[in-house]
Amino acid sequence: MIIKSTKCALLAGMLLGTGMLAAQASSSIVTFSVDMSAQIAGATFVPGTDTVSANGTFNGYGPLNLVRVGATTVYTNTANDTTDANGGQVQYKFVIDSSTWETTGDYHNRTALLPSTSGASLVLPTAFFADAGTPVANDVRFQMDVSQQIALGNFVNDGSSYVDVRGSFNSWSGGASVLTNDPTILRTNQFGLVTSNVWVGTFSVNASPGAAIDFKYVIQPATIWEAVSPVNSDDGGNRFFANVAQTLPLVDFADAPFAPLCSVTFAVDMSAQAYYGNWNPAMAVDLAGSLNGWNTGATPMTNNPTASNTNIYYAVVVIGQGSTPQYKFTYQGAGGTVWESVNPPTPSIGGNRFFMVPSLASTTLPTVFFSGTSIYDLLTTNVWVTFTVSMTNASQYPSGPAFNFGSDNVYVNGPAFTGAWLGWDPISLASYQLTNNPIGSEVYSGQFLIPLGSALKTTYKYSINGVDNEAGSGNDRGRYIRSTVTGAYSFPMDTFGSQYNEPSFGQLAVGKMSAGTVPLSWLGAPNVQVQTCTNLTSGSWVSHPETSGAVWSAGINSTNGLVSVTNWPAGSGKLFFRLMQQ
């Protein structure tokens, strides 16, 4: 009798309680409006012939067609946003004829905060398409609290520290918009402590009416940039407002309210990077994140030279309890700063590590591998990998235009074969252009070297004409190099716009015995091998290293890559199988 067995973890869930509460659905009645006068004057928009729509998170970036207001140049419509959470945000842009997307004044999506009450209404300021209206000057008052930054030591409350505002409205210039402390603004925190650490300033914003403006607060003279929470940041990670006269909400620097402090110890194991020569102890290891303004070098990490593993590097950072910092580990390589790649199963926000700081005076985070890879998760040899993508029905994210086989080009971008994520433009990606193969088909392919020491999982993304337009930012693909025997490996054909991440290994299957053998198949990798056992209660598992992807190459192709296949000698008695990842 042949029985199959896989080594895996099972997750069981249980719901306890006497009842369930129905959550109230999110709903915001949002009115959009845009002035098309500049386009009408320039004959790029013809009323009655062309259409203009609002496309955004509220409708999956599909079109909400706007209606002309009488004989004016203003177009408007209202939508019930049931997609975005109340108290959250909506992002959107205006689009002509469902194909010409506007470029806003800050080069990002228009963004606005939604009402916190379900069913409430929000009337957005009328903006000019592409922010092309005649500039107007509006006074905007900024206000920000540095109480937590004083507690963290980032802001010295002796007159030497101050805050300025940098954004698209002042060309991101330091010192152009300096805030001053207003001691009359008192705030009482959750512990009853009253502080007067609010810094304010009113500045003239000269831009198209209702134009999209982005900005951040910066602590000086140390030039500490804040990292803004997701709800308060646009698609560029910056704060936002529309160019109308207003007083912006009072916020905490980096959206971090005053809280007790926790001493957090971070630890990263560089063994895999050292083993393959990607890194050596002469290269500085750093911690960068929202906790230090993403400043590589602000938080150097050190090892214990007497430890059994001298490749583990540590840093201790004081952080406010209850906050959720984002961070990454970096090292200084020959070509500059090398940032780790954070991929599943490691939890991430926008590709960054994160955790919630506990209500403790100190805590130590588990030691992790740089980029989450041990020495067994990296290539032991150079491999030429073939990428193939079907462009059938392909169109640029988020809503077109469609791929033109006669004039458009296809590129692939990814740190494993380019050395780092390259700029999204045809010049930077010139060496990674795919060719039409076979000529005249809708399939494009290319072969690129992924060097020894790279992760078995390759993260990448395709592009039409060099722009990041296959899917949303950070929505990348991931496939595993499952066999390295020949020094070449072909990924399964992808479909442009259908992002997919392969499982690391699994799919162990055993068929019926025939002629003394049983068909055995599994989704493997160079760090995965088959193990067998004759007795689950008392027997020991026997490893078969010849079945690893570093040795094995026989199999069939699947949507997840090479499925290893063999006829296993059955013998007599029971035999159990499992897969073991090193």
Note the pLDDT tens digit of each residue in 102-118: 999 999 999 999 999 99
| Band of pLDDT at residue 9, cut at 50, 70 and 90 | very low
Give the mean pLDDT of 352-376.
92
The sign of the dihedral angle between the CA atoms of 164, 166, 171, 174 is positive
| Band of pLDDT at residue 12, cut at 50, 70 and 90 | very low
Task: Quote the CA–CA distance of 424 and 81 in Å, as a whole number.
Answer: 32
Judged by DSSP in three states, 465 sits in: coil
Task: Quote the CA–CA distance of 188 and 194 in Å, as a whole number.
Answer: 4
Question: Is 178 within 8 Å of 201 (Cβ atoms)?
Answer: yes
Tokens linked to 318: 């004081």
Question: Is 578 within 8 Å of 520 (Cβ atoms)?
Answer: no
Candidate from 239-243, 345-349, 370-374, 427-431 with smallest mean pLDDT: 345-349
DSSP letter (8 states) at residue 274:
H
| Helices vs. strands in the chain: H and E counts, helices first | 4, 46
Task: Quote the CA–CA distance of 420 and 95 in Å, as a whole number.
Answer: 33
Does the predicted model carry a pTM greater than 0.75? no
| Band of pLDDT at residue 329, cut at 50, 70 and 90 | very high
Task: Quote the CA–CA distance of 3 and 505 in Å, as a whole number.
Answer: 19
Sheet strands side by side (includes 2-4): 2-4, 575-581, 528-533, 542-544
Residue 23 has pLDDT above 50, yes or no: no
Tell the burial category of 416 from Cβ atoms under 10 Å away from its Cβ (0-12, 13-18, 19+). Answer: buried
At 13 the pLDDT is: 27
Candidate from 39-53, 54-68, 286-300 with smallest mean pLDDT: 286-300
Domains and CATH numbers, the chain: 28-131 (2.60.40.10), 136-255 (2.60.40.10), 261-373 (2.60.40.10), 383-495 (2.60.40.10), 504-581 (2.60.40)
Residue 143 has pLDDT above 70, yes or no: yes
Give the mean pLDDT of 303-331.
93
Task: Quote the CA–CA distance of 49 and 414 in Å, as a whole number.
Answer: 42
Higher pLDDT, 11 or 368: 368
At 381 the pLDDT is: 92
At 24 the pLDDT is: 58
Residue indicated by tokens 């159990």: 576
Mean pLDDT, the chain, whole residue set: 91
